[in-house]
Every structure is written in structure tokens, then in C-alpha cells.
Structure 1
Amino acid sequence: MSNRRTFLKSSLAVAAGFAVGHISPVSANSACSYPKGIIYTKQNPGKWSGKIKGHMPNVTVEGNKVTVTTTHGMSEEHYIVRHTIVSKCGKVLGEKTFHPSDVQAKSIFELKDTSTKYAWDTITLYATSFCNKHDLWVTEFEV
């Protein structure tokens, strides 16, 4: 268990470090922004190309409420370990750790302040989903 926690902490630190390093947003045009083999996206699934549907964090935003769902099954052998919401500068805004006995990998986060100077401005955030077998997946979204 200690090794898994150390690995998770290291993975989150790496993800936050990349966000702090002002990585270009994840989009069809920037699929190579993240290092291959470390962070996976819909556009860059690497060796897990057949695993996109069950591992990508799906995000819905309603006001200041963000719901992250990963459609992955949950079992002792194979499950989603954690969801996080991370700002563009690497600040973890929300996190939830799952247990294999959880029915579903679903997190609901309430963002404290998503106001911007102008109504047309948006804030870019990142949702992460970590699978115990298929690594760290990231979805970029805006509020």
C-alpha cells in the first residue's frame, strides 16, 4: 500500500509540475504537449489507445459545480484510484480517492471562486483520473 501511495503522490506532483510549467492546453492541435508514456489524453492515449472510453475523466460543469466521472468498472484488481481538479498553475482545487469497493468513480467538486474580470473570460482547469493499471489520464475543461 505504501508503494501505491508514493506512486500516486509522485504522479500528482508530476502532473502539477507540468501544469505549473505552462503546458499548452490539451486539444487536437496540442496532443503532444504532455510527455508520452506519462500522461494520457483522448488525443494522446499512447499504448492505451483501446482504453480511452473507460479511463478519460468526463467533466460536466453547472455553475460552480464540477462533476468528474470515469466510466471504468471498480474491482479489487482494477479500479480508478483518484480524481483531481488542478488549475493551470498547478494548484489542486479538489481531490477524491476511491476504494475498489466503490460502486462508481464519480466526484463532485464545488469551486470556491470562478469569477473573472470579464464575463467572456474563462478559466482553464484540468481533471485527472488515475487507474491502478492504466496510469494517469487528463481532460482539459473551462469554467
Structure 2
Amino acid sequence: MADRRDFIKIGLGVASGVALGQTFAIATSGSGALPSNIVYTADDPGQWAKKVEGHLPKVSIQGKTVTITTDHPMMKNHYIVRHTLVSEEGTVIGGKVFQPEDEPVSKFELPEGHGSKFYATSFCNKHDLWVAEVTV
């Protein structure tokens, strides 16, 4: 049973990473902004206005290492499922899938010739996809 749950969680994480890349491509292609309540940010928390602090990814950069942290408790029925780091162009730099017993912290190495703007994501199993813009 746990293997099936892990498969579903990983599949959800991969699908959200792919969808996020497509979302950024749409948002930056000039076709207009996305409607509210699809992707949540500090400036547009939508229906989750009281949930920003525990869901918005926090980013620190040390050299070429990017650390994403979500200040969120990890419980069996409510936890952070995945972090992703995406370039401004929509390239997924890396992603990490979490289990309820994990700490929601991930580290990624910036590639050579990286740009200056990235997007860090945090996906909660109850409160959806959150994005923070990061400038290096």
C-alpha cells in the first residue's frame, strides 16, 4: 500500500513540476496573467490568505547552492509534498518529493551560466501550489 502512495505522490510532484513549467511559459509569453486561485504567492494568496506564512517557500542562496524551506508542520494527513526550483525560462533546475516524516527543506545547485531570476515552489497536499520569485 505504501508503494502505491509513494507512486501517486511522486507522480503528483512530477505533474506539478511540468504544469508549473507550462504555467510560467504561458505567463511570460504575453498571453496574459493567470486567474487567481491557481498558483498562490505572497502578493496573491487567494483563498489561502491566512496560510501564507506556513506555505510560501523561503529561499536562501549560498554560492551556487539554493536552499528552499517551507515553515510547515509535517503530519500524515497534512504536509508539503514537493519543492521545485524553476528558471525564468521555465526549465526545472531540480525538485524534491517529501514524505510526511521528512523535513520540508531542499537544496539545489545552480547550473553554469544560470540567469538571475528563479521560482521556488512548495506544494501542500491541502493548500495547493505556492511560488516565490527569487533574484540572484
**TM-score for both structures, normalised by structure 1:** 0.80
Aligned residues: 129
- How does 1:12-91 map onto structure 2 within 5 Å? 12-23=17-28, 33-91=33-91
Q: Unaligned 5+ residue runs, structure 2?
A: none
What CA RMSD, in Å, does the superposition of the two structures yield over aligned residues?
A: 2.1
1:16-58 residue CA offsets vs partner (Å, 9 max, x unmatched)? 112223539xxxxxxx944311100000000000000000000
Taking the aligned partners of 1:72 and 1:56, their CA distance within structure 2 comes to 9
**TM-score for both structures, normalised by structure 2:** 0.84
- Say whether 1:142 aligns with 2:131: no
* Identity score, percent: 43
> Aligned partner of 1:141: which letter?
V
- Say whether 1:106 aligns with 2:105: yes
- Name the SS for the 2:28 alignment partner: coil
> Aligned partner of 2:126: which letter?
K
Distance 1:4 1:113, change over 3 A: same
Distance 1:114 1:73, change over 3 A: farther
**Is the CA contact (8 Å cut-off) linking 1:23 and 1:34 kept in structure 2?**
no
> Aligned partner of 2:25: which letter?
V
1:80-120 residue CA offsets vs partner (Å, 9 max, x unmatched)? 00000001111110111111011x200111112145xxxxx
> Aligned partner of 2:71: which letter?
T
**Is the CA contact (8 Å cut-off) linking 1:82 and 1:129 kept in structure 2?**
yes
**Is the CA contact (8 Å cut-off) linking 1:22 and 1:88 kept in structure 2?**
no
**Is the CA contact (8 Å cut-off) linking 2:56 and 2:70 kept in structure 1?**
yes
Taking the aligned partners of 1:136 and 1:80, their CA distance within structure 2 comes to 10
Structure with greater helix share of residues? 2
